[in-house]
Amino acid sequence: MELGGIHHVTAVTADAPGNVAFYTGVLGLRLVKKTVNQDDVSAYHLFYGDDIGHPGTEMTFFDWAHIGSQMPGWGMISSTGFRVPDRDSLQWWKSRFDELGVSHAEIEEHNGRATLRFTDPEGQKLALVHDEADGVPGGTPWEKSPVLQKTGIRGLDSVELSVRSIRPTATVLVDVMGFRKAEEYSEGGHKVAVFEVGPGGPGARVQLVERPDLPPPVMVGAGGVHHVAYRTPDEEEHAAWRDRLRKAGLGVTPVIDRYYFKSIYFREPGGVLFEIATDGPGFATDEDAEHLGEKLSLPPFLEDHRAQIERGLRPLQTTAGGTR
């Protein structure tokens, strides 16, 4: 039994319209699902991904309009990396960011990988990383994206966790979740350890950065990340993971049916919320693949309350084209 890499990353926005404009219009991802947070139906849950939102390509957002901005701290996901095909495409993205006023750093080598760090309009820390050939198979950028397929984002590369101490999180990653330590180095005076799982490489990496200098964990805010999910192929292994986590003494939730996948959640000892999610059934389960994300999708148990739920949501234009 082995995790297949990163399934999705779920973050927080206080500006759904601006979020859609950035992730579709600037980054060229496809809005593959527009639904609500099952635990708070007054909030949108927006899913962006490749052409059909394959597992491993999805960045998702809860829309909490009245939440404050994310403050720095340890015990949180401090950056999310996306994969782009090669170094030339990084150069192309850098020009695009300049043209569209996206705040970004220079293209830098991070332990041998070319990386372009940038932020979304709410300060969400993101990076584009040169995709090596190996690793989890990349996704397929949507052909109707404003970004050409040859330079487009192929999915998630990695997440970076800022932790007070590397060891407790590393122990759970290795001893319970089956990760392997891939690299260890120092950057900017901070200890960094990289772990990978399953096929390893792009799509299967977690970077731990030791940051005892940061304040203790704070509530997740706009521009912050809520949790990261890892992939498991089917419900049988999903149940076995729940058993294993429980036996390791981690407080794990019951299996929750998210309708597009099944989920379990637990907090790793460094303070970050982890999820393990099944690869299926996927986003084309309740919508035609041609028309993903165009209408508000609700799981069957919420469908009876559609009128009331729709009244509680702000209008959201999701069909506007981006800048090519």
Q: Which parts of this chain interact with Zn ion (CB under 5 A)?
A: 10, 229, 275
Please say which residue, 85 or 282, places its beta carbon nearer to Zn ion: 282
From residue 183, give the alpha-carbon distance in Å to each of 6, 11, 56, 161, 204: 18, 26, 22, 15, 13
Q: CB-based contacts of 185: which residues, under 8 Å, 6+ apart? A: 111, 192
Task: Tell me if residue 42 falls in helix, strand or coil.
Answer: strand
Shortest distance, CB of residue 232 to Zn ion, whole angstroms?
A: 13
Residue 227, CA distances (Å) to 26, 40, 92, 154 in order: 23, 16, 30, 20
- Residue in the block written with tokens 């979304």: 120
- Identity of the residue, 69 or 253, whose beta carbon is nearer to Zn ion in the bound complex: 253
Nearer to Zn ion, 7 or 130 (CB): 7
In sequence order, what DSSP letters do the residues of 174-213 get, joined into one string? Answer: IIIT--EEEEEEEETTEEEEEEE-TT-STTSEEEEEE-TT
Q: How far is the CB of 294 from Zn ion (least distance, A)?
A: 22
Q: How far is the CB of 279 from Zn ion (least distance, A)?
A: 13
When the beta carbons of 36 and 229 are compared against Zn ion, the nearer one is 229
Nearer to Zn ion, 10 or 79 (CB): 10
Instruction: Write the burial class of residue 139 (CB in 10 Å: 0-12 exposed, 13-18 middle, 19+ buried).
Output: buried
Considering the complex, state which of residue 10 and residue 24 has its C-beta at the smaller distance from Zn ion: 10
What is the DSSP code string of 61-124? EEE-TT--BPPP-SSEEEEEEEEES-HHHHHHHHHHHHHHT--EEEEEEETTEEEEEEE-TT--
CB of 49 to Zn ion, least distance (A): 13
| Closest CB 77 distance from Zn ion, rounded Å | 12
Task: Give me the amino acid identity at 292.
Answer: L
Distance separating alpha carbons of residues 286 and 275, to the nearest angstrom:
23
Q: Name the minimum Å distance from CB 165 to Zn ion.
A: 25
Whichever of 159 and 229 has its CB closer to Zn ion, that residue is: 229
- Both tokens assigned to 55: 């597992």
* 3-class DSSP assignment, residue 301: helix
Minimum distance from residue 306 beta carbon to Zn ion (Å): 23
Beta carbon nearer to Zn ion, 131 or 275 = 275
Q: Least Å distance between CB 224 and Zn ion? A: 14
Point out which residues pair with 109 in neighbouring strands. Answer: 114
As given in the structure block, the two tokens for residue 175 are 């001893």
